[in-house]
Amino acid sequence: MATLQERIETATENMETNQGLLHDIVHGGPTETVETEGGSVPTVAKKLADLDAAYAAAGAVAACEAERTAAEAARGLAETERGLAETAADAAHDYALAAAAAVASVPALATEAQAISGTDNDAYMTALRTAQAIAALSASGSETITAGENLADRDLIYQDVFNQRGGGATLWYKIDADATAPVRISPRVGIALEAISSAASGSAQVRSGRVDGFTGLTVGGLVWASATAGGVTQTAPAVPASGTQTASRLVGIAASATEIDFTPEAVTTFIARNSALTVGSSVVVNHWTDGGARERVPHAYVAAGGSSAIAQGTGTAIGNMTENGGIAAAFDGNANQGHTSCATKSGTTGFVGKTYSGGKRVIKAVAVGSNNYGFIYDGASVTLTLRGSDSAAAYGGGTSIATTTVSDASLLSVTLEGANASTYANYWVDVLSSSGSENFCYCAELTFYEYSATRDEPVRIGSATIDSAATDCITVKFADASDANQDTNTTFINRSGAPRDVIVEVAL
C-alpha cells in the first residue's frame, strides 16, 4: 500500500496533468481538439467557431429557400406573358388577313367612286391613296415576275402596267432615267433578285424591304434610279442638257455599303429642258398615262446659268500652233511654260482649240501666254477671240463668241466669255499679233468652260391651254392619250416675252 507521501505526490502529478489539459481546452486554437481520458474535447475557440459556422449555414439554407420561391414566381409570370404574346400574335395574323382582304376590295370601291363623281374627284383619289397605304402596310417581300427583256441580278426594274412597250402589262423592264424620250417607267417598281432572261420568270422585290447585294453605297444616303439602265445612284438627278429629258425616281435609303432599304416613292418627276426657248415656242415632256386617272403636277423654272471647266484630257487638240511644244502643250495642265515649251505658230496669226465628240455648249475660255514673251514675240498688244463651229476650225472662221484686245505681258491670263446658246463640236481661240515683223504666237495653257445650269426661281404657270393669249408666263397643255396604252405629253410654251433657258417638270 502506497504511503501517504506517495499518494500526495501522485495526486499532485494528476492535478498538474489535468491543469495542463484544462489550459489547452481554454486557450487552444479554433481548429484544435484536446485528447483526454474520456476522448477528444474541442477547445473553447473551436466550439465557438463551430457554432458560428452552424449559424451561417442555417442562414444560407434560408436564403436558398427564398431564391427558389422567387424563381417559381418568375416562372409563373413568364408563362402568363407567353400566353399574352401568343394571343397578340393570333390577333396580328387576323389583322394581316383583314388588311389583305381590304386591299382587294379597294379598287372596286375606287371605281365606283370614280363612276359616281368623275375622274378628278376627291373620293376617288382618297380611295386610291387608301389602297396604296394599306398595301404599304402589308407583308413586304418578293414575288415571281416575268421579264420583258434580259434582267441582271439587282437590276432596278418597273412593270409596264400601261403596256407602253406593247409586250403586255405584266412584263418587267429595266429603268433607264435618261433613255430617249419618253423615259419608260411606271408607278410599280422593283429590284430583280436574280438574273432573269427575257420572257422567263424569276424573283423580284416589289414591296418595301431591305435588299442586299449592292456595292459602294454611302450609309444613310438616298438612292435614285440611275441613267444607266437597271442601275441605282446616290447622286441627285441633275438638270438635263438642252433638248433632252430625264426622270427622277427616289427608291430608298442605303442601310449599309451593300444594302438598300427599298421604299420607292409613288411619284415620278419627268424633267425636260430647252436652253434657248424662244417666245411662242414649246418644250414637251413625255411621260406615261393611265387614261387621265392620276393627278399631274406641272412646274416650270428659268435656269440659273453658270459654267464648269472641261477636263483638259477631254476632246482632241486642234489648231495651227504646232511648233515648239505643239498644240498638246496648250492642254497639259502646265500654265507656267517658256515659249519653247508652248503651243507656237510663227507669224502673226495662230489658233489652238479642241474638238468635242457630240458637241458642247462652251461659253468661256481662259488662255495663258508664255512665262517669258506672253502671247506674242515683239508686239505691244494682242487680240484673242473665242470661236465655235461644227465645221472645220480655221483662223477667223466659225462663230465669234467673245473677243478682247489687251496689252501683252509674260504669264498673262485672259478670260474670254460670251453668251453662246449653241452646241458646237469645235472650239478654238485665235491669237492675233499687233506687229507684222518677226513675230510668233504662243499659248502655254487654254481651258474651255461649258454652260451648266441649276433650277432658279419658278415660273408662273398660266392657262391650261397653249392656245390662250396669256402673257408673262409659261402656259401648259395636258394632252391625254385616247387610251392607256399610248404615251401622254405635257406641253409648255414660252409666253414670257423673251427667250428663256427653261426647265420644265411633270410629277405624277
C-alpha cell at 47: 466550439
On the question of pLDDT at 171 being above 90, the answer is yes
Q: What are the tens digits of pLDDT across the range 234-266?
A: 988 877 877 888 889 999 999 999 999 999 988
Mean pLDDT of 406-429: 92
pLDDT score recorded for residue 471:
59
pLDDT band at 493 (very low <50, low <70, confident <90, very high): confident
pLDDT band at 24 (very low <50, low <70, confident <90, very high): confident
pLDDT score recorded for residue 77:
67
Q: Is residue 154 a contact partner of residue 175, using CB atoms and an 8 Å limit? A: no
On the question of pLDDT at 465 being above 50, the answer is no
Q: Which of 95-109, 158-172, 471-485 bottoms out in mean pLDDT, i.e. has the lowest?
A: 95-109
Looking at every residue in the chain, the average pLDDT score rounds to 80
pLDDT score recorded for residue 479:
61
> Which whole-number Å values give the CA distances from 237 to 186, 245, 263, 303, in the listed order?
18, 11, 18, 15
On the question of pLDDT at 482 being above 50, the answer is no
pLDDT score recorded for residue 414:
95
From the list 175, 172, 132, the residue with the least C-alpha distance to 294 is: 132
Mean pLDDT of 108-132: 51
Q: Which of 85-94, 111-120, 379-388, 436-445 bottoms out in mean pLDDT, i.e. has the lowest?
A: 111-120
pLDDT score recorded for residue 486:
47
Express as a percent the part of the chain with pLDDT over 70: 71
pLDDT score recorded for residue 45:
74
Whole-number Å distance between alpha carbons of 305 and 315 = 23
On the question of pLDDT at 180 being above 50, the answer is yes
On the question of pLDDT at 44 being above 90, the answer is no
**CATH of region 316-452:** 2.60.120.260
pLDDT score recorded for residue 284:
86
pLDDT band at 466 (very low <50, low <70, confident <90, very high): very low
Estimate to the nearest angstrom the gap between the alpha carbon of 408 and the chain centroid.
49
Pairing of strands 222-225, 269-277: unpaired
pLDDT score recorded for residue 18:
67
Q: What number of other Cβ atoms are within 10 A of residue 264's Cβ?
A: 22
Collapsed DSSP state (helix, strand, coil) of residue 67: helix
pLDDT band at 304 (very low <50, low <70, confident <90, very high): low
On the question of pLDDT at 328 being above 80, the answer is yes
Q: What are the boundaries of each domain within the chain?
A: 4-42, 140-264, 316-452
Is the peptide bond preceding residue 182 cis, with omega within 30 degrees of 0?
yes
Q: Is residue 411 a contact partner of residue 371, using CB atoms and an 8 Å limit? A: yes
On the question of pLDDT at 330 being above 60, the answer is yes
Whole-number Å distance between alpha carbons of 30 and 42 = 9
DSSP code of residue 374: B
User: Residue type at 240?
Assistant: P
**Which residues have CB under 8 Å from 282's CB, separation 6+?**
466, 491, 492, 493, 494
Pairing of strands 209-211, 323-324: unpaired
pLDDT score recorded for residue 39:
77
Q: What are the tens digits of pLDDT across the range 50-61?
A: 777 766 666 666
pLDDT band at 291 (very low <50, low <70, confident <90, very high): low
Q: Which of 231-245, 272-286, 409-423, 483-497 bottoms out in mean pLDDT, i.e. has the lowest?
A: 483-497
Q: What are the tens digits of pLDDT across the range 196-239?
A: 999 999 999 999 899 999 999 999 999 999 989 999 999 888 77
